[in-house]
Amino acid sequence: MKKRRQHLDKCLALAAKMVLDSRKIDANGNASFQFNCGEPDFGDIAELLSTAGNFNPGVSRLNRRKIVSDAFFELAKEADQKRITAANLSKLLKQKENAHRRQPELPFFLHTQVSISTRTSLPPMIKSDEAVIRFHRTLPKRSPKEKDYGRQIASLGIHKPSRNWYYANVFVSARDISEAANIAFRSINLLRAAWNLEENSRLYTRHCGPTQRPINTFRLAPLQTVHERDQIGEVNCFWYQQPFVAFDYPGSAWEIKSEELAEFRKTELWIKGRLRKSSHDYRQFIESNLLNYVSALDRADHAEVFRELWAITESLTGCGRDGVLKYDQLISRASNAFQRPHFKEIILEHLRLARNQMIHELNVTFDVPSVFQLLRIVHGLIRFHLRSCLYFRSVDEAIEYLSLTRDSRRLRRSIRLHRDILKHSVQ
């Protein structure tokens, strides 16, 4: 956290200097801000602050950029150049973020399709904390205009939507369309993460066929739209999924048996219950990793999936924080989440070598089963945190637990030494 704060302070200082150097004073003494085409670039600084700033997670990336840009222009209008400082820029950013969050929320919905066969008996509605997801076998009344949707879907080389895939509308409340898209995608992707986690946990490997396909079975269609609930109107904003969906779509829809669906709903409700009872920070940590998990397995390129899963492993083991990454620590912590840690250490050492060959040696040959070995590691770590989120006060405490040795003799010795320290400190 300290290094992140230092990084943010550097970004604010650089931004304040850029504003000071780029502002112009006219003949009447009025200050204005002009874009600088040189270095540092205006867009680069705005992007740095929109990602490094301490924004509320509910503020969309698009709105963060707008808040940062508006703060730049307002700061440039200061009559006294001594007030153009990093501290005042930070205050402006917070004021504008608070003003944005005070705006009234409006009803929106996201329209898409999901790769579940219409022969499956899905529940008509699934509720989450932020959204209501409704499934339809046929095109619902609330859907984009055919001419707009059809033109965009045709641009992907697709003649018409699949009749075998369920339609899904995700109803949310948000301040604008970009925030509505963020909430809707987050809600349906957390649902997909729960169902795919249960389904993928049964996989041993899947690498047959002439082309690589995504590991996830529950996927979104290639195109999504977001609308105001009562005014669909013309479609101006489209969201596209990973390119693989275009050539895989419609593909074979996933037909879920009733007993399988019951297991998926059971896992979904268990995850929701654990997250609802956990601390705010722990919940955000798990949800972020679940979203990264489902996004990684939507990809078709298994080498890319491996890199994404390795990054998730780093996150789940608390490695790589503040720019410090120790692979021995990662292997030790990840293996300690399992009943047979010594066996997992050997597998993780193999996966580390595979990762290094891929990244540092640019090894073009890739062993597909390694993806599924790493996937099982990620599944174990996700389930560890879901089980532990009610027992540990924070993520840091859970990571500290993973750092403990599993050697019984060393543990007893450590306990004895800690008791001695406590005894002497009391005296």
pLDDT in tens, 154-166: 776 665 667 889 9
Nearest to 375 by CA among 320, 341, 411, 334: 334
402 in Cβ contact with 315 (< 8 Å): no
Distance (Å, whole) CA 383 – CA 390: 13
Question: Looking at residue 144, what DSSP letter applies?
Answer: -
398 in Cβ contact with 383 (< 8 Å): no
- The 3-state DSSP class for residue 163 equals coil
Res 361: pLDDT = 65
Distance (Å, whole) CA 8 – CA 46: 12
Res 208: pLDDT = 56
Q: How many CA atoms lie within 13 A of 104 on its CB side?
A: 2
Res 252: pLDDT = 75
* DSSP annotation string for 199-253: HHTT-S----SSS---S-SS-B-SEEEEEETTB--S---EEE--THHHHH-S---
pLDDT in tens, 380-421: 999 999 999 999 989 999 999 998 877 677 778 877 777 777
Q: Where are the domains of the chain?
A: 2-101, 106-256, 301-411
Res 308: pLDDT = 94
Please tell me the pTM assigned to this model.
Answer: 0.86
323 in Cβ contact with 3 (< 8 Å): yes
Res 353: pLDDT = 86
Res 58: pLDDT = 80
| Tokens encoding 123 | 């529940």
Res 26: pLDDT = 74
Distance (Å, whole) CA 184 – CA 179: 9
Res 11: pLDDT = 86
In angstroms, what is the C-alpha Rg of the chain? Answer: 25
Beta-carbon contacts of residue 58 (< 8 Å; ≥ 6 apart) = 101, 179, 182, 183
Res 242: pLDDT = 60
pLDDT in tens, 28-77: 766 666 665 555 677 788 888 888 777 888 888 888 989 988 888 888 88
195 in Cβ contact with 204 (< 8 Å): no
Distance (Å, whole) CA 99 – CA 88: 16
Res 92: pLDDT = 92
Ranges of the chain whose pLDDT falls below 50:
none
270-273: long-range contacts, CB 8 A cutoff, minimum separation 24: 270/386, 271/194, 271/197, 271/386, 272/128, 272/194
Question: Peptide bond preceding 214: is omega within 30 degrees of 0, i.e. cis?
Answer: no
Question: Looking at residue 362, what DSSP letter applies?
Answer: -
